[in-house]
A and B are shown apart, each in its own frame.
Chain A
Amino acid sequence: MKIEHDGNNLRVSDIAELNALNATTFRDEVRAALPLEPGTIEIDLSQTQFVDSSGLGALFSLYRAAHGGHNGVTMRLLNPKPPIQQLFELTQLHQLFEICCR
Chain B
Amino acid sequence: MAGPPSTPEHGLTSRITFRCDLGEARAAARALRDFLVTLGLDETELFNCELCLTEACNNAVQHASPTGVHAPVVAAVSAHGAEIELTVTDHTPGFALATRAGPLSPDHDHGRGLFIIQSLMDEVSYFRGSRENTLVMRLARRAHPLPPPLPASAASDATGRQLAECRQTIGAMARELCFRSESLAAIFRCCSELGRTTDLAGFSQRLLGDLLHLAAADWFVLRLNSADGSRLAVFATSTAKLGGAPLPLAPRDASPGSAELAAAQSGRELEFATRLASPAVEPLCAAGPEATGRVHPLLFDEMLVGTLAVGHSTAGSPFSALQVEMIRTIAEFLAIHVVSARHQDEQLRAQLVAHELEIARRIQRALLPRALPQPPPFSLAASWESARQVGGDFYDALPLGEQSLLLVVADVMGNGVPAAMFATITRSLLRALAGRGHGPANLLRQLNELLYEELSAVGMFVTVQLVLVDLVRRQLVAASAGHCPILVAGGAAAGVQTLCPTGLPLGIMPDSTYCQQTLALADPGTLLLYTDGLTEAQNPAGEMFGQERLAEWLRDNFPLPGADQLRDRLSAEIGRFRDGAALHDDQAFLILAGGSVASAAPAPIPGSPDAAPIPSDAHATALHAGSPALAATD
Contact = CB atoms under 8 A, between A and B. Distances in A.
A60 B55 contact: no
B14 interface: no
Given A52-B55, A52-B58, A21 B107 contact: no
Interface residues of B, number: 27
Interface stretch (A6-14, A30-38, A91-99): A91-99
Interface of A: 19-21, 50-54, 56-57, 60, 63-64, 81-84, 86-87, 90-93, 95-96
B106 A93 contact: yes
- What are the nearest 6 A-B pairs in CB distance? A83-B47, A53-B113, A53-B112, A92-B106, A83-B44, A20-B58
B116 interface: yes
13 contacts: A20-B25, A20-B54, A20-B58, A20-B62, A21-B22, A51-B51, A60-B106, A60-B107, A81-B47, A82-B43, A83-B51, A90-B119, A91-B116
Contact of A92 (B44, B47, B51, B104): B104
Given A50-B47, A52-B58, A21 B26 contact: yes
A57 B109 contact: yes
B47 A21 contact: no
Contacts of B115: 91
Contacts of B120: 90
B104 A91 contact: yes
Among A57, A63, A82, A96, the one with the most B-chain Cβ atoms within 10 Å of its Cβ is: A57
Contacts of B50: 50
B116 A90 contact: yes
Contacts of A64: 107
B389 interface: no
Contacts of A91: 103-104, 106, 112, 115-116
Contacts of A81: 43, 47
B10 to A, nearest CB: 29
Interface in B523-546: none
Given A21-B22, A21-B26, A90-B116, A50 B51 contact: yes
Contacts, number: 66
B586 to A, nearest CB: 88
Interface string B248-287: 0000000000000000000000000000000000000000
A54 B574 CA distance: 100
Task: Decide if the interface of chain B is mainly helix, strand, loop or mixed.
Answer: helix
B44 A56 contact: no
A92 B48 contact: no
A21 B21 CA distance: 10
Given A83-B43, A83-B44, A60 B109 contact: yes
A83 to B, nearest CB: 3
Contacts of B116: 53, 87, 90-91
Interface string B104-136: 111101001101100110000000000000000
B23 interface: yes
A19 B44 CA distance: 18
A93 B106 CA distance: 6
B44 to A, nearest CB: 5
A53 B109 CA distance: 8
A92 B23 CA distance: 27
Among A20, A63, A91, the one with the most B-chain Cβ atoms within 10 Å of its Cβ is: A20
B106 A53 contact: no
Interface in B37-65: 43-44, 46-48, 50-51, 54-55, 58, 62
B375 to A, nearest CB: 113
Contacts of A56: 112
Contacts of A51: 51
A92 B50 CA distance: 20
Contacts of A86: 44
Contacts of B109: 57, 60
Contacts of B112: 53, 56-57, 91
Given A83-B48, A87-B51, 7 more contacts: A19-B26, A19-B54, A52-B54, A52-B55, A53-B116, A82-B43, A91-B103
Nearest to A94: B106
Contacts of A87: 51, 116
Given A20-B22, A82-B43, A53 B105 contact: no
Nearest to A50: B50
A17 to B, nearest CB: 8
A93 B51 CA distance: 17
A52 B49 CA distance: 11
A54 B51 contact: no
A98 B68 CA distance: 42
B555 to A, nearest CB: 110
Nearest to B114: A53
A21 B23 contact: yes
Contact of A84 (B46, B47, B105, B107): B47
B546 to A, nearest CB: 96
A93 B48 CA distance: 17
B425 to A, nearest CB: 88
Contacts of B106: 60, 91-93, 95-96
A6 B55 CA distance: 36
A50 to B, nearest CB: 7
